[in-house]
Amino acid sequence: MTVIITWLNLYLIFFKIGLFSFGGGYVMLPLIYQHIEIYNLIPMEEFADLVALSQMTPGPIAVNAATYIGFRNAGLMGAVFATFGVISPSLILVFLILRLMKKFKDNPLTQAALDGIKPVTVGMIGVASIYFLERSILAGRFFSLDFIRMNLDFLNLPRLILFVAIIVAVRKTRISPIILTLAAGIIAMILF
């Protein structure tokens, strides 16, 4: 019985995440992070691992996260319920739109609401960026403003070089991000 309640809880938590996933991908990381925090789903230090694994595996990050967290909580069935939860809002909403609103995308209300969400998504992906900078090139909390003291100890130099190299590679070459991600992992494994 408790197992079934765990499954249903996972379904509902990820239904909520799916329902508020606007903008897709990295934008939603703070939302997923907060839900992990509130519901105590996985140890917080695993969050960065979860995103790292999502990057190396195909598919939407929200689905990867649902599968990961569901599995860590309640095994295979937990993964099934969480994944089904995160895609349920999509299925229901697309169905309703196709059935009821022929003119959905031209609806000015939809347009206005989406327009209001745009700057929110920028702020949220900003938070996600800081989270990952803190766990890679920065050796402390960004919001503690330690970096203002211009102390070089604040930066992790080898990772900073790797970080800059990846940015240059993404901008100047056509190598796919997945290859770059794997290469970064292998370089770190050998050199750091």
The number of residues that bind other proteins (CB under 8 A) is: 100
For other proteins, the binding residue among 9, 13, 36, 68 (CB under 8 A) is 68
Residues 100-119 contacting other proteins, CB under 8 A: 104-106, 108-119
Footprint on residues 5-34 left by other proteins (CB under 8 A): 16, 18-27, 29-31, 34
CA pair distance 169, 151, nearest whole angstrom: 28
For other proteins, the binding residues in 115-174 under the rule CB under 8 A are: 115-130, 132-133, 135-137, 143, 159, 162-163, 166-167, 170-171
Taken as a whole, the chain contains a residue count of 192
**Interacting residue with other proteins among 12, 90, 146, 147 (CB under 8 A):** 90
Phi, psi of 138 (to 5 degrees): -90, 140
Q: Which of 4, 44, 157, 188 binds other proteins (CB under 8 A)?
A: 188
- Rounded to a whole number of angstroms, the minimum distance from the CB of residue 100 to other proteins is 12
Task: For residue 61, count other CB atoms closer than 10 A to its CB.
Answer: 20
Contact 182, 56 (CB under 8 A): yes
Residues 6+ apart with CB under 8 A from 59: none
One of 94, 151, 153, 175 touching other proteins (CB under 8 A): 94
Q: Which is nearer to other proteins, 6 or 72 (CB)?
A: 72
Stretch that binds other proteins, among 3-11, 61-69, 147-155 (CB under 8 A): 61-69
Q: Residue 1 CB, nearest distance to other proteins (Å)?
A: 25
70, 3 Cβ separation under 8 angstroms? no
State the minimum distance, in angstroms, from the CB of residue 148 to other proteins.
16
Cβ neighbours around 43 below 10 Å, total: 10
- Angle ∠(99,103,105) on CA atoms, nearest 5: 105
Measuring CA to CA, which residue among 38, 35, 69, 37 is closest to residue 51?
69
